Structure 1
Amino acid sequence: MGTITLITGGARSGKSMQALKLALPYQRKFFIATGEALDDEMTARIEFHRTTRPQDFRTVEEPVKVVAALEKIGKSADLVVLDCLTLWVSNLMWHSTDDGPVLGEADKLAAALKNAPFASIVVTDEVGSGIVPTDHAESRRFRDLLGWTNQKVAAAADDVILMVAGYPVKVK
């Protein structure tokens, strides 16, 4: 079983760069990208990540079926970087108006990472530190689902890192 490192923090806090830095010593590296190019801004973000990602990663673009992607990689990897849970939860919300299936997928993900034969670095956002979005129920739902998903993966993780202005703070 590999180790799990969860990296969380605010927008542009250096989470993805920290994940790539931690990935340096590994040989057979995979990158699971959960983003979808649904508009021009997201297309530009995805392209930025593609061009800044080191060439020694094999990239799997999978917005929803992340557990199946992890299982398919299996023993082919020494390390998998999953970037990010934030978009993955958002994508899952498009497929279910109920919280149960989303949280069920989060449980499956935590178990798959725990049982994986490779090390994992998982990137997510911390969205629960701001004000409660009282005027928009779907925003509150997203904040809650991501928070619960982050807790499930953090509980399975060996290490949790909070990124603050480009600096890692060890939480667990």
Structure 2
Amino acid sequence: MKKLGTFPRRGPSGFFVGLASQGRTPSFRVSSSPPPTSLDPRCFILITGGTRSGKSRFAVELAGRFNSRIVYLATCRSGRDGEMRERIARHRRARPRGWTTIEHPRDLAGTITRLRGKAGGLIIDCLTMYVAELVVRGESDAAVQRKVRALCRAIRRVSYPVIMVTNEVGSSVVPEQELGRRFRDLAGLANQIAAGFADHVFLLVAGIPLALKGGDGLFVDVTDGTNAPT
């Protein structure tokens, strides 16, 4: 990937970012510095950010550091409406061929456990939709948090790297409806739980990944946006 006017900057926890100066939508390339090595086979990476901030794209790039046996767990229920179906189709097109996709598993923690020995790496996209599904099922606040903890414990027990995508949903106005406020609060609490379990936490802002926790040993080159979505 060609770099245009970039220079490396050391970010939090030794994470390096090459920032573009061309005023285009950023894209990125993930490698290791010093010389490339595979990611820790037991690492848990959490990626958070706002809508269309580049979270899923960054997750796919990071997963390229794993081996080819990637499993993609998509937590969103398909067929809700035309816009959601197109959103899901766009995510499907962005995944490399050869990856295995499991859509809308009801028992997320159990699915992760059953993938032992069958997956070389896992992407969960996303925690926010999983929380929404639990709320729709009528789970209590305590039950939602308990199931998120159980999910994170299941991730910590597997011997392959896991990337979890989530969303920052509480940075805007306070929702008018009680259900919206409850979901916002539960999504924020779920993110805190997951971040506590994760080895690495990245925040995506305007397509640029910022390391909030961990990040050592990874190099992210933020380039001119040639491959960024339009």
Task: Return the TM-score normalized by structure 2.
Answer: 0.72
Q: Does 1:58 align with 2:100?
A: yes
Tell me the percent identity.
Answer: 39
Write the distance in 2 (CA, Å) between the matches of 1:8 and 1:88.
14
Structure 1 residues 101-152: Cα deviation after superposition (integer angstroms, max 9, x where no partner): 211110101111111111000000011212222x211011111111111111
1:91 is matched with: 133
Q: Partner of 1:75: helix, strand, or coil?
A: coil
Q: Is the 8 A contact 1:64 1:92 kept in 2?
A: no
1:73 is matched with: 115
Write the distance in 2 (CA, Å) between the matches of 1:88 and 1:63.
9
Q: Is the 8 A contact 2:57 2:94 kept in 1?
A: no
Q: Partner of 2:151: helix, strand, or coil?
A: helix
Q: In structure 2, list runs of 5 or more residues that go unmatched.
A: 1-40, 214-230
Q: Is the 8 A contact 1:161 1:169 kept in 2?
A: yes
Write the distance in 1 (CA, Å) between the matches of 2:178 and 2:57.
32
Q: Is the 8 A contact 1:62 1:69 kept in 2?
A: no
Write the distance in 1 (CA, Å) between the matches of 2:131 and 2:120.
25
Task: Return the TM-score normalized by structure 1.
Answer: 0.95
Q: How does 1:106-145 map to 2 (within 5 A)?
A: 106-133=148-175, 135-145=176-186
Structure 2 counterpart of 1:144, which letter?
A: D
Q: Partner of 1:152: helix, strand, or coil?
A: helix
Q: Could you say which structure has the higher helix fraction? A: 1
Q: Is the 8 A contact 2:66 2:161 kept in 1?
A: no
Q: Is the 8 A contact 2:105 2:111 kept in 1?
A: no
Q: Partner of 1:121: helix, strand, or coil?
A: strand
Write the distance in 2 (CA, Å) between the matches of 1:23 and 1:143.
28
Q: Does 1:104 align with 2:146?
A: yes
Write the distance in 1 (CA, Å) between the matches of 2:130 and 2:157.
20
Q: Is the 8 A contact 2:121 2:160 kept in 1?
A: yes
2:85 is matched with: 43
Write the distance in 2 (CA, Å) between the matches of 1:19 and 1:62.
18
Deviates more, 1:70-79 or 1:120-129: 70-79
The 1:142–1:63 alpha-carbon spacing in structure 2 relative to 1, beyond 3 Å, is farther
Write the distance in 1 (CA, Å) between the matches of 2:183 and 2:145.
12
Q: Does 1:18 align with 2:37?
A: no
Structure 2 counterpart of 1:30, which letter?
A: V
